[in-house]
Chain A
Amino acid sequence: DGIGDSHDEL
Chain B
Amino acid sequence: MNIFRLLGDLSHLLAIIVLLLKIWKTRSCAGISGKSQILFAIVYTSRYLDLVTTYISAYNTFMKLIFVVAAYATVYLMYIKFKATYDHNHDTFRMEFLVIPSLILALLINHELTVLEVLWTFSIYLESVAILPQLFLVSKTGEAESITSHYLFALGSYRGLYLLNWVYRYYAEDHYDLIAIVAGLVQTVLYCDFFYLYITKVLKGKKLQLPA
Please give, as numbers and ranges, the residues of chain B lying within 8 Å of A8 by CB-CB distance: 56-57, 60
Q: Which residues of B contact A6 (CB under 8 A)?
A: 50, 54, 56
Which secondary structure dominates chain A's binding surface?
A: loop
Q: Mark A1-10, 1 if CB is under 8 A from B, else 0.
A: 1011111111
Q: Which residue of B lies closest to A6 (CB)?
A: B54
Specify which of B57, B120, B165 is in contact with A7 (CB 8 Å cutoff): B120
Given A1-B173, A1-B174, A1-B175, A10-B64 contact (CB < 8 Å): yes
C-alpha spacing A1/B173, complex, angstroms: 9
User: Known interface pairs A9-B5, A10-B9. Does A4 touch B162 (Cβ–Cβ under 8 Å)?
Assistant: no
What residue of chain A has the Cβ atom nearest to residue B44's Cβ? A10
Chain B: minimal CB distance from A10 (Å): 5
Going nearest first, the 4 A-B pairs with the smallest beta carbon separation are A1-B175, A3-B111, A6-B54, A8-B56
Identify the B interface with A (CB < 8 A): 5, 9, 12, 47, 50, 54, 56-57, 60, 63-64, 67, 111-112, 117, 120, 162, 165, 173-175, 177, 180
Question: Which residues of A are at the interface with B, using a C-beta cutoff of 8 A?
Answer: 1, 3-10
